[in-house]
Structure 1
Amino acid sequence: ADRELAMVFQSYALYPHMTVDRNLSFGLRMTGAPRAVIDERVKRAMDILQIAHLADRRPKALSGGQRQRVAIGRAIVRQPKIFLFDEPLSNLDAELRVQMRVEIARLHKELGTTMIYVTHDQTEAMTMADRIVVLRDGLIEQVGSPLDLFDNPVNQFVASFLGSPRMNFLAARIEKTDRDRVQVSVDGQPETRLDLVVSRQVEPGQSVTFGIRPEHFVSEGAGDAQLDVAVDVVEHLGSTNYAYADAGAGQRVVVQRGESGRTLTSGDRIRLGILVANTFLFDADGARLT
């Protein structure tokens, strides 16, 4: 309160015996704000969140999405310098989460106030953030715009966090080195050799992890190398289809396909093209090499 921050909790934290109107005004009433100021701010918050028709209801009479709007409205009336959101959508069902993501993004645009938003859902991070701070064990791994982190992750942890389905990671080995160029072989794929440029010195025989996103595989015969896989399961989602496949040596990959993926079935053997420009290489500690 002393720093003019407002918190929106994961559990809503509404007063069950108070109406929506009184929940929204409670903080202002406790600080002794003038009645006219309270009424004006509460009305504005209700108009922004489209909950004016709920003013006389108590929390038990509201849906999860409506309760979340009230919790956000209680923060809005404070007119804070910064909003703090603690996984505010985690208690909502999938459809409502999508709707509330749009609502919060619209709210940010309308209010123009900084929002610090904690989430474990990478979709929320990618779709709502101007800047993402990726944390692990209390340390900052990387800071940047959503697309910066997606296209240029600094390590394997960041690469695995952003993207749905997540990036494929395959065990691989350095076969040859020539200054900053190396040849990499993928375990279980004796014919797969990739020539990559690395940012620091590696040694022949060194174990590494090869990364490629499901959407970055190209058609057979295209690309700089080929990966032979056996399809186990196919998820048909209409315009987008996902094949879960065995890449040998106990390794698995997910392949994203468009309309062409509709013809894939369990048991199919397919060859996937790989473009070096769309690949990543990480050392044993997860640090990026390419």
Structure 2
Amino acid sequence: MKKLAVVAIGGNAVNRPGEKPTAENMFSAVEEAMGYLVDMLDEYDIVITHGNGPQVGNILIQQEMAKDIIPPFPIDVNDAQTQGSLGYMIVQSLRNQLSKRNLRREVAALITQIIVDKNDEAFKKPSKPVGPFYSEEEAKKLMAEKGWIMKEDAGRGWRRVVPSPKPLDIVEKEVIKLLLKNDVIVVAAGGGGIPVINEDGRLKGVEAVIDKDRASALLAIEIDADELIILTGVEKVALNYGKPNQVYLDRLTVEEANRYLKEGHFPSGSMGPKIEAAIDFVTTTGKTCLITDMKKLKEALSGRTGTRIVP
């Protein structure tokens, strides 16, 4: 019997570093990524999740440039747009890879809403930068006109920051389970899902961004996955990353992962959310999370590389 895995693909799977974010380049990157995932299908059924940060940022820049002609959409709607566009690219590319190998499988992308708590502390302390850079004068004007929170970003200009609340529940989880029962490869929770709150039984989108690795962990828990696989730009997790005393890790217990996280080895802007997601999944399920580079996935699944977070 095949194992069920949630596979979270990182930004490099959609936009290779240094490449222009054209549709042609994105299709090329996604098709390459799907080739690595097809290699899993003899042993695994999979649900694919993906990031969307750069793509939402590009939409916000486009909307800013056209704001005098077409009113900009809120972030939750932009999240839905990127789930649709990236879902289309992933589904088409995966079908092409399956066809190349004479494999027949159904594939579907699902627009996914994820419930957050309107009282989450993140709403009091927005921290996630989104969209274009502005001058200080423009930023102050936007703060006054729109009530946005803007922060100076490492000397590059001012950017809007939005909340990044904890994902609590997946609205479409039963649909995902139904598709899996019918042998469908599912693309879901793209970009961390569309953040929504539940007000007296009524769903309502909010201006926020959910971390895609935390959403992937929640999805893996909800569908009772056997494994969470987080694909990123490095082959293994490391302590003292990028320093002369860097040490790669083959295996991490939850206790060790928590300790290293507190010691600052895994920054919030890079490996931190992946380790937090791994801890959530492993602690809740008692199962294993694998973190590795997509190009090393085959070797990692056979135990020859990658970092495993275990109970």
Q: State whether TM-score is above 0.5.
A: no
TM-score computed with the length of structure 2 as normaliser: 0.22
Q: Give 1 or 2: higher helix fraction.
A: 2
Tell which has more relative contact order, 1 or 2 (C-alpha 8 A, sep 6+). Answer: 2
Larger Rg: 1
TM-score computed with the length of structure 1 as normaliser: 0.23
Q: Give 1 or 2: higher strand fraction.
A: 1
